[in-house]
Structure formats: C-alpha cells, structure tokens
C-alpha cells in the first residue's frame, strides 16, 4: 500500500513539473546598488512575462567578489541558469570546455549581428563563429562626476577637466570637503586606466594593453601617467577612502565630496537621488580631457543544461533581453547605453546623450580592458595600483616598472 | 608458550579496523589524494580548468615557474608576513588572556554563569559579523575616533583601520575579541579537572597561590593546553572571512592574508598559481607541525 502511494505521489510530482512547460532560472549578477537593482528588476519583469520564473541570485560586493563564485559554480557542476559577466576573456576557458550554451541559432534568427552595436561586443561573444553570450548594455568607465553646488559654494567654477579638478583641491580641503572621493579595490584600477586614456591617449592605451608595446609602457608617456596618479594620491586622504564604489558616489551626491571618477553606471545613482545632469551635477566623459568611450558593459552567459526546459527558458531570456522595450527600460534605469541603435531614447538624461553622441561618431570608441587582457593580469595591475595609492613611499618609477612587468608577462 | 602461533598483525582488532575503514578511505582519497593533485598541478601552467591525466600534466608542465612568480609578487610576501604576525599575536594573546580570564573565573566569584556567557558570546558570532562590527567601531569617520573627539578630546587619533602599517593589528584585535572566550572556557574546564586534593596539599605546604598555578596546575593541564594550541593555531592559518569583512585586505594590500590570494587565483584563470600558493602554505604548516608531531607522539610509543 505504502509503495503505491509513493509511486502515485512521484508520478503526480513529475506530471506537475512537466505540465508547466516553463522553468525557474537562477540568474546570478552583481547588480546590488540602488540604480542597478531597479534596472535588473526590468529584466526579471520581462522574463516572468514569458511564463518562466526569474530567481534572483544577486551576489553582493563587486565583480571581483562575484566572478570567482560564478566560475567555481560552473566548474563544480552546480551551474546557474544564466549569469552576468563582462565582455572579453573571462569565460573563454569555460566555452572551450563545452560548459556554455551555444546561442548561434537564436542570434542568427534574430539577426543580432546587425541590430546590436558596436561590433566589438558581438565579437567578444563569438568564439570560432559561434555566439555564446548576449550583450545587454554598453558601459564606459571614463567619466568624472562633479557636484556643481559644492564648487559654487566654495566660490570656484565647476571644473571642466581633470587638471582643473586637481587645481581646485587645496581650496576645497580647507573647507573640509573631500576633493576627490575614492573607493577601495577595483575603482583604483579604473582611475588608473582613465588617467592613462586621458593623459597618454587612447592609442597608447590600446597599444600597451592589447599589443603589449613595452617601449611605451616603460617610456615617458606612461611616466607622465604615473606622475598624474602620484598627484591624485597626494590629494586623497586615506581616511576618506570608502569600501564600495557607490559609497564614493554617494559622497558626491551628498555634497561631502566634490568629484569622483567612475563609470557611467554612477549615473544611475544620481538618477535615484533625483539629481539633474547639467544642473546639479556634471558628467565629463574622458575626464573632460577628450570625449572618448570604452566599450565595457555587461553580457549574459548561459551555462549548458541537461534539461531541455531549462535550455528553452534560457533562450527565452536571451531573446527578451535584446527586445526594444526591455533595452530601453533596463538601460534608462542602469544609466548605460542600449545595444540597439533603433530605440527611442528621448527619455535619456544629458549624460547618456553625451555618451550616445560619442558612440555614433564611432571613432572615439576603444575596447574595454577585459577584451584586451586576461583577468589574472588585470587583477595584478589592480594590486600594484592599490599599493601605490596607499603607500606614499613607492615612487612613480617603481610602480611603472611593476606595471610594465605585468604587461610583459601577460599571456597573449 | 613460544610455540603458540602468532596472530596475523593485520587481523588484530579487526572490528575496529573495519569500523575506521571509511575514515581511512576518506583521509587517503580526499586529503592525501587532493594534496598530491594540488602539489602536482602547481608545476603546470593550467588556467581555469583542472586536469587529471598524466598526459595532460606532461603537456602543461612548466617546472618551478609558478613558484618564481609567487615569490616575486609583493602581495604574497605581505600576505605571508601578515599571517605570521596574526598567527603569533593571536595565538599568544588568546592563550594568555584566556588563561588569566579562566583563573579569575576560577576564584569562586558570584554570578559566574553570567560572566562566562558574556565572554563566550562573541564566539557564537560568525567572523563576518565580528568583522563588520569592528569595521564600524574602528572606522575613523564615524566610529571610536569620532565619538571620542565629539566628547571633547579633539586630538584623539585611532586610525589603525585606514593606516597601512597598523591594519593587520585590527584583525588581531577583532580575532581576539571573538576567540578568547572559547580559550577561556576550555581552560576553565581544564582548571576544574584539577583535583581539590592538590590545592589542599599546596595550601598545607604554604605555597602561594600564583606559584601553585604556574608550577603545579599549568604543567598538569598540558593535554588541555595542546588541544587549545591546535585549535587556535589552525584557526589562525585559516583566517579569511574576518579580514574580508574588516579590511577587505586594505588599505592597499597591507592586510592581505594567503587564503585571499589563493582563493582569488584559483578562480580568475590562474589555477596553477593558486595551487602553488596553497602548496607553499602546506609546506609552511608541515615545517612547524612535523617536528612537534615527532616529539609528541614519538615519546609515547617509546612508552
């Protein structure tokens, strides 16, 4: 008798799961700040509307915290339904091992190659002619954010570039205001790269990071960059360094700090705080030196599943992420640029419009760091820069040589 | 007597051997097997995916390259130094403070249960919670430093958390706050197991109390002390989450510990570098532990 009930129960359970021809997908990502959480809710809403269920797997911290967790789960045979990563080399080994779902069919059917731009993002998702990820947005890291009111209250004209910001620092410090807020960890690496781009120029940056030009890395162009970073670390009081990037942005929003260097994702935080670009705050692409745009951003990968229902749900999610409606809703909240050129962005704020203009020109666009260097080398560069920032006894020359040695040792 | 057949030594205590066989199997396969794999793969150049066949090991073999890179990395040198500082200070102070607290607790004080609970409570918290709480207390912007300054002592400064020379000591402070209670409880149990007769005899002989503790009680507590030492020392080698919550390894890399380096490298495409670092850590532990094991257990078998 007992067995009969058990068998009946099991049958009923299987019947139930197969009757609902939809699946729950756990989606891991590291979007946890206010603006980011609002944006990711748009993805969840659109996916739930397809009859499937979005199970949110947010990992607090940053990409540096989340990436090892994501990769160890996929390697360890406990994959999620879908996961955020950055475009570039992070997932190459996993794809080569056959652990990732091939999206080529869907990409061809929906003509991603033509509706999504710039081309570099699709290239990053394509390995040996097959598409493995879907790019959802375009982020550039080369922005300086300033609070206009703080400068005006101090009787200083709001700066229009990096040099003016540095020049205004002593006067602000006297008034007890942090001239440049900074967060611990990867934001220091970001500031470094932004200064490379602003001071040495895009071509030099790409030449060193992508083509591993060691003469440039050890030469005077990069020497000037390290001198500028040296000037930056002199105006930052170590006591004011905060743990997370959004804390550093919040200091600018609250008027406790005057400026911050952060990617365009900071725009989402200003929007959540109800501030208006051009009136309450300024956003300066390329740190105000030259308007340029790195093609960073986010992509979603789908670890391979044995269950056909899950695979179906994965394709449904990939498809919904690039629809016009979702692209607009998501990117407005995220403060990033949409992957599609054919969407209506009249609701975009001034900062996003600046970014779109640069993107449309096309010539001022350059690859993201993770598209040029492997993650291990990028982390080593971050380690060098973190030390350089916190230890004033390290000279710019020593830091430059350490940096060049990492570029030299990086795998091709 | 001498003609009696000697029992096969393999069959002696057979039930006991059978009962422990799953444990022996796990130790051999999981611990020894994984250790061998880790050390072997540290001589390869593997990036993200683990390898298992001899052919793959042969194809990826790079010799000592990973170790050369490891010892050229300033962050690793800092990590190892920090582990030594933390290990010595944490173990030492946990021992001394724990013992003193236990002795004080042993003086037949009133409401002993209340005090014991208070001292043991931090141990019930996870390292993450401990780390976060101390990160708030020690944060100069709104923690202890600001509170004391607001009270009127304007020049008061306690910025260890943001001072790269002192940050590792904040980890020691938080670790002690959490771990001392356990050492105290174990020590107290050890003290209570000392026969009252010994105390009476010492009193009759007119030996002062502090000498009784130092020269009679402490030597008698040797087994307890060794257990505590193993717990405390292995706990300090594993330190990871406390640092992550308290300092994130900062400022800069000044409070990094080896386990943070190992974990990061294992999963960002530098698997072999991670296994090389963990092999180094294993070697360091072995160098300390093996002489002690030889001395401690070698003595007993000689009977």
Which of A68, A69, A390 faces B254 most closely, judged by CB atoms? Answer: A390
Burial class (CB within 10 angstroms; exposed 0-12, middle 13-18, buried 19+) of A345: middle
Whether A375 sits inside 8 A of B269 (CB atoms) is yes
- Reported as a single tens digit per residue, the pLDDT across B210-242 is 898 888 888 998 888 888 988 888 888 889 999
| Percent of the residues in chain A that have a pLDDT greater than 90, as a whole number | 60
B176 or A34, higher pLDDT: B176
**Cα four-point dihedral sign B55, B60, B62, B67:** negative
Whether B254 sits inside 8 A of A409 (CB atoms) is no
- Reported as a single tens digit per residue, the pLDDT across B133-191 is 999 999 887 888 888 998 988 888 888 888 889 999 999 999 999 999 999 999 999 99
B303 or A317, higher pLDDT: A317
Nearest chain A alpha carbon to B76? A383
Q: Return mean pLDDT, chain A.
A: 88
State whether residue A60 is helix, strand or coil: coil
Q: How far apart (Å, rounded) are the C-alpha atoms in residues A395 and A258? A: 27
What are the chain A neighbours of B162 within 8 Å (beta carbons)? 238-239, 241
Chosen from A238, A392, A403 to mutate, greatest number of chain B CBs within 10 A: A238
Max mean pLDDT among A33-37, B99-103, B248-252, B282-286 falls in: B99-103
Q: Which H or E run contains B145? A: helix B144-150
**Cα four-point dihedral sign B78, A376, A208, A335:** negative
Residue A401 near chain B (CB below 8 Å):
no
Which tokens in the block code for residue B122?
């931090």
Whether A379 sits inside 8 A of B164 (CB atoms) is no
Radius of gyration of chain A (CA): 23
Return the pLDDT at A346: 78
Q: Which residues of A39-68 are buried (b: 16+ CB within 10 A; e: fewer)?
A: bbbbbeebbeeeebbbeebbbebbbbebbb
What is the spatial order of strands in the sheet that A281-285 belongs to?
Answer: A178-181, A257-262, A143-147, A281-285
Q: Return mean pLDDT, chain B.
A: 88
Return the pLDDT at B267: 86
Up-side HSE of residue A100: CA atoms within 13 Å toward CB?
28
pLDDT at A105 over 50: yes
A236 phi-psi bin (left φ>0, alpha ψ -120 to 50, beta other): beta
Return the pLDDT at A23: 86
pLDDT at B301 over 60: no
Per-residue pLDDT band for B303 (boundaries 50, 70, 90) equals very low
Point out which residues pair with A307 in neighbouring strands: none
Chosen from A387, A410, A411 to mutate, greatest number of chain B CBs within 10 A: A387
Return the pLDDT at B294: 81
Question: Integer distance in angstroms from the first to the last C-alpha of chain B?
Answer: 25
Whether B250 sits inside 8 A of A383 (CB atoms) is no
What are the chain B neighbours of A243 within 8 Å (beta carbons)? 248
| Chain B residues bordering chain A (beta-carbon distance below 8 Å) | 47-50, 69, 73-75, 140-141, 159, 162-164, 248, 250-254, 263-270, 273
Whether B141 sits inside 8 A of A243 (CB atoms) is no
Return the pLDDT at A62: 82
Lowest mean pLDDT among A9-13, A48-52, A159-163, B101-105: A9-13
- Reported as a single tens digit per residue, the pLDDT across B117-127 is 888 889 999 99
pLDDT at A395 over 90: yes
Q: Which residues of B214-242 are buried (b: 16+ CB within 10 A; e: fewer)?
A: eebbeeebeebbeebeebbbebbbebebb
Per-residue pLDDT band for A204 (boundaries 50, 70, 90) equals very high
- Reported as a single tens digit per residue, the pLDDT across B31-76 is 899 999 999 999 999 988 888 899 999 999 999 999 999 999 999 9
What are the chain A neighbours of B252 within 8 Å (beta carbons)? 386-391
The CA distances from residue A19 to A22, A23, A207, A309, in Å, are 9, 11, 56, 11
Residue A197 near chain B (CB below 8 Å):
no
Q: Phi, psi (5° rounding) for residue A232?
A: -65, -40
Q: How far apart (Å, rounded) are the C-alpha atoms in residues A370 and A127? A: 15
Helices (H), A138-213: 148-153, 162-174, 186-195, 202-209
Asked if omega into A118 is within 30° of 0 (cis), the reply is yes
pTM of the model: 0.84
Q: How far apart (Å, rounded) are the C-alpha atoms in residues A253 and A270? A: 7
| CA–CA min distance B146, chain A (Å) | 12
Nearest chain A alpha carbon to B161? A239
CB contacts under 8 A, A 351-390 vs B, are 374-376, 379-380, 383, 386-390
pLDDT at B292 over 80: no
The arithmetic mean of pLDDT across residues A85-111, rounded, is 90
Residue A391 near chain B (CB below 8 Å):
yes
Nearest chain B alpha carbon to A373? B269
Per-residue pLDDT band for B4 (boundaries 50, 70, 90) equals low
Which tokens in the block code for residue A60?
């607090």
| CA–CA min distance B31, chain A (Å) | 18
Return the pLDDT at A3: 54
Return the pLDDT at B67: 96
Q: How far apart (Å, rounded) are the C-alpha atoms in residues B283 and A14? A: 52
Between chain A and chain B, the number of residue pairs with CB atoms below 8 A apart is: 83
Chosen from B268, B274, B275 to mutate, greatest number of chain A CBs within 10 A: B268
Return the pLDDT at A1: 43
Per-residue pLDDT band for A364 (boundaries 50, 70, 90) equals confident
Residue A97 near chain B (CB below 8 Å):
yes
Per-residue pLDDT band for A268 (boundaries 50, 70, 90) equals confident
The arithmetic mean of pLDDT across residues B88-101, rounded, is 93
The arithmetic mean of pLDDT across residues A310-317, rounded, is 93
Whether A238 sits inside 8 A of B162 (CB atoms) is yes
Whether A97 sits inside 8 A of B248 (CB atoms) is no
Return the pLDDT at B5: 66
Which of A96, A379, A391 faces B264 most closely, judged by CB atoms? Answer: A379
pLDDT at A18 over 80: no
Return the pLDDT at A4: 52
B301 or A69, higher pLDDT: A69
The arithmetic mean of pLDDT across residues B264-280, rounded, is 92
What are the chain A neighbours of B159 within 8 Å (beta carbons)? 239
Which of B69, B75, B164 faces A383 most closely, judged by CB atoms? Answer: B75
Lowest mean pLDDT among A275-279, A294-298, B7-11: B7-11
């Amino acid at each position: 008798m007992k067995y009969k009930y058990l068998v009946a129960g099991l049958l009923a359970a299987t019947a139930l799961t197969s009757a609902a021809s939809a699946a729950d997908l756990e989606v891991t990502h590291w979007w946890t700040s206010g603006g980011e959480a609002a944006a990711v809710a748009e993805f969840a809403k659109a996916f739930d509307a397809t009859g499937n269920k979005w199970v949110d797997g947010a990992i607090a911290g940053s990409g540096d915290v989340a990436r090892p967790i994501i990769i160890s789960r996929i390697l360890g045979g406990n994959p999620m339904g879908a996961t955020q990563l950055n475009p570039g080399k992070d997932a190459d080994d996993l794809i080569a091992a056959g652990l990732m779902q091939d999206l080529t069919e869907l990409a061809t059917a929906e003509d991603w190659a033509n509706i999504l731009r710039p081309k570099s993002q699709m290239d990053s998702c394509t390995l040996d002619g097959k598409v493995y990820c879907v790019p959802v947005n375009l982020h550039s890291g080369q922005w300086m954010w300033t609070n206009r009111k703080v400068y005006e209250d101090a009787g200083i004209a709001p700066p229009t570039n990096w040099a003016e910001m540095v020049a205004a620092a002593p006067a602000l410090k006297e008034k007890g205001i942090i001239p440049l807020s900074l967060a611990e960890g990867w934001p220091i690496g970001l500031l470094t790269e932004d200064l490379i781009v602003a001071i040495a120029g895009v071509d030099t940056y790409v030449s060193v990071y992508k083509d591993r030009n060691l003469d440039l890395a050890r030469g005077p162009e990069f020497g000037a960059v390290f001198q500028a970073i040296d000037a930056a670390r002199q105006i930052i009081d170590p006591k004011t360094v905060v743990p997370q990037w959004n804390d550093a942005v919040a200091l600018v929003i609250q008027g406790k700090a005057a400026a911050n260097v952060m990617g365009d994702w900071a725009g989402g935080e200003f929007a959540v705080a109800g501030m208006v670009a051009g009136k309450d705050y300024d956003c300066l692409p390329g740190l105000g030196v030259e308007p340029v745009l790195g093609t960073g951003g986010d992509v979603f990968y789908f670890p391979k599943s044995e269950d056909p229902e899950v695979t179906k749900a994965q394709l449904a999610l990939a498809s919904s992420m690039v629809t016009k409606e979702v692209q607009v809703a998501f990117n407005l909240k995220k403060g990033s640029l949409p992957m599609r050129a054919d969407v209506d962005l009249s609701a975009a704020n001034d900062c996003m419009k600046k970014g779109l203009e640069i993107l449309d020109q096309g010539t001022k666009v350059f690859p993201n760091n993770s598209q040029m260097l492997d993650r291990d080398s990028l982390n080593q560069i971050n380690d060098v820069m973190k030390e350089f920032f916190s230890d004033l006894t390290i000279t710019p020359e020593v830091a430059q040589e350490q940096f060049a040695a990492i570029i030299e040792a990086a795998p091709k | 007597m001498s003609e009696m057949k000697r029992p096969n030594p393999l069959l002696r205590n057979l039930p006991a051997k059978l009962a422990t066989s799953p444990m022996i199997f796990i130790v051999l396969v999981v611990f020894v097997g994984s250790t061998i794999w880790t050390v072997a793969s540290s001589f390869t150049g593997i990036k993200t995916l683990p390898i298992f066949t001899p052919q793959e090991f042969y194809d990826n073999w790079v010799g000592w390259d990973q170790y050369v890179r490891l010892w050229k990395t300033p962050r690793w040198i800092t990590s190892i130094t920090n582990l030594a500082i933390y290990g010595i200070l944490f173990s030492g102070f946990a021992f001394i403070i724990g013992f003193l607290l236990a002795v004080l607790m042993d003086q037949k004080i009133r409401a002993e249960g209340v005090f014991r609970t208070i001292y043991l409570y931090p141990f019930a918290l996870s390292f993450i919670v401990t780390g976060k709480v101390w990160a708030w207390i020690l944060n100069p912007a709104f923690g202890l430093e600001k509170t004391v300054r607001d009270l009127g002592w304007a020049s008061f400064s306690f910025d260890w958390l943001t001072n790269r020379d002192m940050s590792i000591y904040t980890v020691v402070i938080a670790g002690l706050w959490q771990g001392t209670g356990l050492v105290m409880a174990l020590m107290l149990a050890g003290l209570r197991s000392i026969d009252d007769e010994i105390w009476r005899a010492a009193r009759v002989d007119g030996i002062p109390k502090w000498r009784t503790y130092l020269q009679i009680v402490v030597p008698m507590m040797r087994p307890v002390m060794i257990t505590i030492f193993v717990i405390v020392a292995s706990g300090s080698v594993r330190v990871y989450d406390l640092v992550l919550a308290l300092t994130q390894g900062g400022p800069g890399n000044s409070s990094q510990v080896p386990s943070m380096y190992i974990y990061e490298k294992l999963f960002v495409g530098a698997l072999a570098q991670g296994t090389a670092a963990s092999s180094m850590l294993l070697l360091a532990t072995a160098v300390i532990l093996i002489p002690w094991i030889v001395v401690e257990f070698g003595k007993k078998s000689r009977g």
